[in-house]
Amino acid sequence: MPQKIIIIRHGETDSNRKRIVQGHLDIPLNDKGISQAQSAALQLKEHHIDVIFSSDLLRAYTTAEHTAKHHDLPIQKTSLLRERHYGSLQGVSFAMVAKKANAEFVHFSQVVRGREKEYGAESDEEMMERIRKFQTYLDNHKNKTVAIFTHGGLIALLLRHFLYLTAVEVDKMSFPNASPIILMKKGERYEIEK
């Protein structure tokens, strides 16, 4: 396993700004998102990154490109790091998702949980299976620093996987656009570096 894992959510898109569910929709960064990606790259400049992985969706890959330039590294793209597929909810506003579900709005992923079949959405278990497959890539980078550019929904599951957190614990966390989360290996486990 890597010694350090740096997880970065993609920069802002117009759909983020308008509070629209993106899922697998391939939405580019907006101007603010490009600026956020540049800022994240500068923040990460001080870290010795050995490998960069990215979701194959444009918003994550474009965010990764800015960091890759500073480190002169190729980006390894994979669909395993994509956002959750939200089925019929992709392209729908957060408010409409809550209304459809007759739920007080907390977060659309919480509205979907347990009702994935109804919406044709990917379940937590299906996403965890993607993470377990991705783990085989990480296992090839023992004692290295790995950067992962991905999406908010997948970050939640990555943290559950690496930190052994529950869904309830992760639901209380937020993952701002282009803000790195650094996990350091401590023995056989990972901890968030403060």
- Residues 57-89: tens digit of each pLDDT: 999 999 999 999 999 999 999 999 999 999 999
Please report, as a single letter, which amino acid is at residue 58: L
Closest by CA position to 181, among listed 129, 154, 167, 142: 154
3-state secondary structure of 74: coil
Q: What is the pLDDT of residue 103?
A: 62
Q: What is the pLDDT of residue 107?
A: 66
83 is in an annotated binding site: yes
Q: What is the CATH number of the domain that holds 185?
A: 3.40.50.1240
Q: Which domain holds residue 159?
A: 4-192
pTM of the model: 0.94
Mean pLDDT of 131-147: 96
150 is in an annotated binding site: no
61 is in an annotated binding site: no
86 is in an annotated binding site: yes
Would you name the residues annotated as active-site residues?
Answer: 10, 83
Domains contained in the chain, number: 1
